[in-house]
Amino acid sequence: MKIVLAQTKFHKANIAKNCEVILQDIENAKTKNVSLIIFPEMATTAGYVGTLTQYSDFEIELNKAFESLKTASKNIDILIGSYNICNNQFRNAILLFQNGEMTHLLNRADTKNYTSKFSHKNTDFEVCFYKNIEQISNSKSDNFIVYGDTPFTINLRNQRIEKLQNIAKSQKIRTIYINNVGAFDNEIFDGGSLIINKNGEVIKELNLFSEEIYLSSNQEDIINKDKNYAEEYLILEALKLAINSYFSTIGARKAVIGLSGGIDSAVVAAVAVLALGAKNVHGILMPSDFSTDHSISDAEILAKNLGMSYDTISIKDAYKSVNNSLDPIWKEKKFDVTEENIQARIRAIFLMAYSNKNGHLVLNTSNKSEASVGYGTLYGDLSGSLSILGDLYKHQVYSLAEFINSEKEIIPQNSITKEPSGELSPNQKDTDSLPEYDILDAILFQHLENRKSGFEIVEMGYNREIVEKILKMIRRNEYKRFQYPPIIKISEFAYTVDRKMPLNWDI
């Protein structure tokens, strides 16, 4: 029995194009006498498409695809994840196309039936979604097919291998895991489809973060050695995949980044160059009266190390002009956060102007620590098409920088070691208004990821005043995150997608 795992890239909401890809994969499989081809979850639409399912052309396109798959299934069985109508609603389902007919096997939303069975070549197969595998017991089937339905997080790969090995071993069942690869909006699917034998040994792990069509002859005997990946490697590959998917979906190729000489913009530039190629990434240095010499030279060295082009545009004249225009309306003129924000917003004007003129997408450079406490200027440095680091705490940005530098210095060491500064006022340091990042990140992690209340964090030994200040900053800055660019999700608790908070509240 020859089975193909089609870990193929699909196109968001484009049923016709995905159907073409699927039919091509099927044709290729037929030439190799494959009897069963397995496509991942929501293959016809590349994930959820929300309100689009309420339009009649969605149903028309989907039915067309199903008709093609019925026809294609006359000499091969096709197992595929797709939207399908169930009780008048489109549901995330697993479908089997066999002998020209379609069978609806399973709904992901079904809370009563966690698995469904089908027979192929006199062998029993049982399918289920990954989220429900812990509900499974006493399977009497020969093969278990688990549908990956969980977006990438740093620990996902190791967790799923362990869980699936346990299932295979405890139930003595050959287990196949089929996953998507690609990024849809800000969620990443990391591939890494699996075949695990009934002893719980990993026979095959398909590519992480890239496509692979794998032909399994059911006779594999090479046990993969257990690979281990550094956390930073997984994050880097995930970010690259997300950037590439975002750009290719909208037909863009080029990115522009404001280079400050600091670590965040340096890491974003490095990741963008790794994802898109140096010739597709442009930097803009935008020094001000408060920029230090090393900021400019660090940014220039970075651009040269990466082989990317850059321009330098001083914001001094525009800053002076904006201030002169505003001066007559101020009752008293005193430098405060207003003027800091004006600088950040002029930089955003320059970046967006470059984007408008040349078609480059602006990449946002702020990180999760900053997003949490609102350290950044709305419509200034918080702008951009896509936030690359918005789900990485500052300490994770440092680790990623070290990882990128592991073979040779790409990010100037000075950007890594110098004290972080917004450089928006004389001798400004991040620590003027924030605690040290190691303390900030630890408190944020307890509050966000571990859902610890303030008093619980204080009980762990953190300073009450600092904890209360940080929690208040998180609460007060929900409005900035409301208008944030989409953030690439890499944690289990990413802003925008995983955290649903009142916009304003009354405490």
* Distance of closest approach, residue 54 Cβ to its own copies, in angstroms: 5
Binding test (CB under 8 A) with its own copies, winner from 378, 401, 410, 434: 378
* Distance of closest approach, residue 336 Cβ to its own copies, in angstroms: 7
Instruction: Please say whether the dihedral angle defined by the alpha carbons of residues 72, 48, 175 and 233, taken in this order, is positive or negative.
Output: positive
Binding test (CB under 8 A) with its own copies, winner from 35, 207, 314, 405: 314
* Distance of closest approach, residue 498 Cβ to its own copies, in angstroms: 8
Contact yes or no for 232/403 (Cβ under 8 A): yes
Q: Which is nearer to its own copies, 209 or 484 (CB)?
A: 484
Q: Does 502 bind its own copies (CB under 8 A)?
A: yes
Binding test (CB under 8 A) with its own copies, winner from 199, 217, 356, 406: 356
Q: Does 111 bind its own copies (CB under 8 A)?
A: no
Binding test (CB under 8 A) with its own copies, winner from 289, 453, 463, 465: 453
Q: Could you tell me the two tokens for 477?
A: 């800055």
* Distance of closest approach, residue 240 Cβ to its own copies, in angstroms: 17
Beta strand 89-98 with 101-107: parallel, antiparallel or unpaired?
Answer: antiparallel
Identify which range of 171-179, 268-276, 346-354, 408-416 contacts its own copies by CB under 8 A. 346-354
C-alpha angle with apex 179: 175 to 181, nearest 5 degrees?
155
Question: Which parts of 380-419 interact with its own copies (CB under 8 A)?
Answer: 383, 385
193 vs 191: CA distance, rounded Å: 6
Q: Exposed (0-12), middle (13-18) or buried (19+): which is 327, by Cβ within 10 Å?
A: exposed
Q: Does 350 bind its own copies (CB under 8 A)?
A: yes
80 vs 37: CA distance, rounded Å: 8
Q: Does 89 bind its own copies (CB under 8 A)?
A: no
Binding test (CB under 8 A) with its own copies, winner from 4, 6, 13, 235: 13
Number of H helices, E strands in the chain: 15, 19
Q: Does 499 bind its own copies (CB under 8 A)?
A: yes
* Distance of closest approach, residue 387 Cβ to its own copies, in angstroms: 11
Q: Does 445 bind its own copies (CB under 8 A)?
A: no
Tell me the DSSP string of 334-388: --SHHHHHHHHHHHHHHHHHHHHHH-PEEEE---HHHHHHT-S-TTTTT-SSEES
* Distance of closest approach, residue 155 Cβ to its own copies, in angstroms: 20
* Distance of closest approach, residue 71 Cβ to its own copies, in angstroms: 24
Q: Could you tell me the two tokens for 30?
A: 């037929």
192 vs 151: CA distance, rounded Å: 12
Q: Which is nearer to its own copies, 1 or 21 (CB)?
A: 21
Binding test (CB under 8 A) with its own copies, winner from 454, 469, 473, 497: 454
146 vs 133: CA distance, rounded Å: 8
Q: Does 348 bind its own copies (CB under 8 A)?
A: yes
Contact yes or no for 149/119 (Cβ under 8 A): no
* Distance of closest approach, residue 378 Cβ to its own copies, in angstroms: 8
Q: Does 303 bind its own copies (CB under 8 A)?
A: no
Q: Does 425 bind its own copies (CB under 8 A)?
A: no
Q: Which is nearer to its own copies, 56 or 88 (CB)?
A: 56
Identify which range of 256-264, 295-303, 407-415, 484-492 contacts its own copies by CB under 8 A. 484-492
Q: Does 330 bind its own copies (CB under 8 A)?
A: yes
Q: Which is nearer to its own copies, 460 or 501 (CB)?
A: 501
Strand stretches in 411-482, DSSP E: none
370 vs 430: CA distance, rounded Å: 10
Identify which range of 9-17, 162-170, 171-179, 232-240 contacts its own copies by CB under 8 A. 9-17
SS3 category, 464: helix
SS3 category, 448: helix
Binding test (CB under 8 A) with its own copies, winner from 147, 152, 184, 445: 184
Contact yes or no for 143/150 (Cβ under 8 A): no
Q: Which is nearer to its own copies, 328 or 426 (CB)?
A: 328
> Applying CB under 8 A, what is the total number of residues that bind its own copies?
77
Identify which range of 65-73, 113-121, 170-178, 478-486 contacts its own copies by CB under 8 A. 478-486
414 vs 412: CA distance, rounded Å: 5
Question: Which parts of 48-87 interact with its own copies (CB under 8 A)?
Answer: 49-52, 54-58
93 vs 478: CA distance, rounded Å: 35
Question: Which parts of 225-254 interact with its own copies (CB under 8 A)?
Answer: 246, 249-250
SS3 category, 7: strand
Binding test (CB under 8 A) with its own copies, winner from 266, 484, 490, 494: 484
> Smallest Cα–Cα separation from 43: which of 92, 85, 4, 3?
92
